[in-house]
Amino acid sequence: MLNKKLLIRVLAMVVLCLTRNCWATEKPNVLFLICDDLNCDIGIYGHPVVQTPNIDRLAERGVLFRNAHCQYPLCGPSRASFMTGMYPDQTLVRRNARYLREHIPNALTIPQVFRQDDYFAVRIGKVFHYNVPRHIGTSGHDDPYSWNYTINPRGRDKDEEDKIFSLIPNNFGGTLSWLAADGVDEEQTDGIAASEAVSLLRKYSKDGRRFFMTVGLFRPHTPYVAPRKYFDLYPLDRIAVPKVPTQYLNQLPPPAVDSIRRKKDQIDLPESIARQAIQAYYASISFADAQLGRILSELESTGLDETTIVVFTSDHGYHMGEHGHWQKTTLFENATRVPLVIAGPGVSERGKQADGLAEMVDIFPTMVDLAGQQLPRNVSGVSLRPILENVQARVRSSAFTQYANGYSIRTSRYRYTEWGEHASLGAELYDHESDPSELINLIDRPDHEDVQSEMRVQLRARIEESRREPVGIKQIENVEPRRVPQPNP
């Protein structure tokens, strides 16, 4: 009788495994979703206007990190950093248009580690650096050693560049530019990327292939191109343009001023142009969210959501008029802070938000930890798994970011920044309890002397840590620049 009961239980388990492909997914799959130039202007992060129902829905079944920060607020250096789990002074990638292996030829990227364990690694769209929009449809500065299979979507947004408005005519990647496009989502580059991801997820759900899939969307990077219906979500009369206090620049060190005034065509924009730029950025966010929704819906409909770790993030933050600046490349919260949501197997605190500090270099060790992989010795990040199991946990006392000749740390309350070696070019101190917008520089004020001294010690320790030679990694500081062909529109 006992043997008969045991046989029935075994048969039931076999049937369950056959319907859910659990023979092939004893280890979890990974779906890594990356937006380009997306800040935390997202519904679930409390933005009063921007509509992102699909990112919000993902956060409801995972953990949302409220205080996650990039290590370099520029696409190429940031992506090289989080894809290797090393700081920019370790990867030596501190500017765009660099191939990762020109500087660290024997590095192991996240997908490479998973490939070693027989995962099938797929890249759809932008993961490593691309010149946007010039490289859309190509591999850009991709790392081919990271993938088994790659897809370079190219859509209507690329073909219709002549219709795009730009502050600098015919210049779309580095300046404010936008287009309320005709047509449907599926005709756009990111819409094609979503369709490709949906197709592969459907295929893998049937054949049981264990996968590491990275989908890199180009939006909301400039040019802000999205179908017109997304622009209609944000009437111009509902758009608020950030205000900057009079004499604000007088309290900043010269390098900080340079970082927010370097794009001369984007200084003191007319109110009407500023509103249009913000509208277009918001539209691009909602368009990207819709594509993420298509991918996540397929993950759920196939049942793969139960066996797939999902990580959603951006490469850095973004200014939309804050501090009088537009786009990235500053050491203010707007440029360093990134959205980060982790869901799936191993995440027990579902639907909760974590205030503990996190860095993008932590994504690598977290994925590896959740999947039971071996972490390479050179990785500098730390696993966020304790926070995924208890959102009150803390794994860091500060988050570290660098840009040009500046270094900055964000603690739970303060931001402290030094420009030049040992603050030779100036410093900044902000109290987020009283000044979350970082508009009042408290540096050298007598009532903050102790805080300033403590933050100085912490930052310089972090700088030393970020410069530590990574174990077993060959570093090449100076390389001959290689020109990548720039396709015509």
Residue 431 domain flag: no
pTM, two decimal places: 0.93
Question: In the structure, what pLDDT confidence band is assigned to residue 488 with cuts at 50, 70 and 90?
Answer: low
CA distance 358 to 379: 15
Beta pairing partners, 124: 151, 215
Closest by CA to 110, choosing from 123, 99, 98, is 123
Count other Cβ atoms within 10 Å, centred on residue 456. 17
Beta pairing partners, 121: 212
Count of domains for the chain: 1
Q: What is the mean pLDDT of residues 197-222?
A: 98
Q: What is the pLDDT of residue 5?
A: 46
Residue 135 domain flag: yes
Residue 402 domain flag: no
The phi and psi torsions of 457 (rounded to 5 degrees) equal -65, -45
Residue 478 domain flag: no
Question: In terms of C-beta density within 10 A (0-12 exposed, 13-18 middle, 19 or more buried), how is residue 111 classed?
Answer: buried
- Any idea of the CA torsion for 279, 288, 129, 304, to the nearest 10 degrees? 160
Residue 154 domain flag: yes
pLDDT digits (tens, 9 = 90+) for 126-160: 999 999 999 999 999 999 999 999 999 999 999 99
Question: In the structure, what pLDDT confidence band is assigned to residue 64 with cuts at 50, 70 and 90?
Answer: very high
Residue 382 domain flag: yes
Q: What is the pLDDT of residue 480?
A: 77
Structure tokens at 330: 């500053």
- Cis amide bond preceding 270, omega within 30: no
CA distance 73 to 255: 15
* Beta-strand relationship, 414-419 and 406-410: antiparallel
The phi and psi torsions of 167 (rounded to 5 degrees) equal -60, -35
pLDDT above 80: residue 255: yes
Question: In the structure, what pLDDT confidence band is assigned to residue 486 with cuts at 50, 70 and 90?
Answer: low
pLDDT digits (tens, 9 = 90+) for 45-56: 999 999 999 999
pLDDT above 80: residue 61: yes
Q: What is the pLDDT of residue 8?
A: 44
pLDDT above 60: residue 460: yes
Residue 295 domain flag: yes
Mean of all residue pLDDT scores within the chain: 94
Residue 430 domain flag: no
Percent of the chain with pLDDT over 90: 91
Question: In terms of C-beta density within 10 A (0-12 exposed, 13-18 middle, 19 or more buried), how is residue 49 classed?
Answer: middle
Q: What is the pLDDT of residue 399?
A: 98
The CB-side HSE value for 44 (13 A sphere, CA atoms) comes to 25
Question: In the structure, what pLDDT confidence band is assigned to residue 15 with cuts at 50, 70 and 90?
Answer: very low
- Return the axis-axis angle of helices 75-84 and 363-371, rounded to nearest 10°: 30
CATH of the domain at 212: 3.40.720.10
- Contacts of 287 by beta carbon, 8 Å cutoff, 6+ apart: 185, 188, 190, 219, 220, 226, 227, 230
pLDDT digits (tens, 9 = 90+) for 401-439: 999 999 999 999 999 999 999 999 999 999 999 999 999
Q: What is the mean pLDDT of residues 112-119?
A: 98
Domain range for residue 195? 27-389
pLDDT above 70: residue 17: no
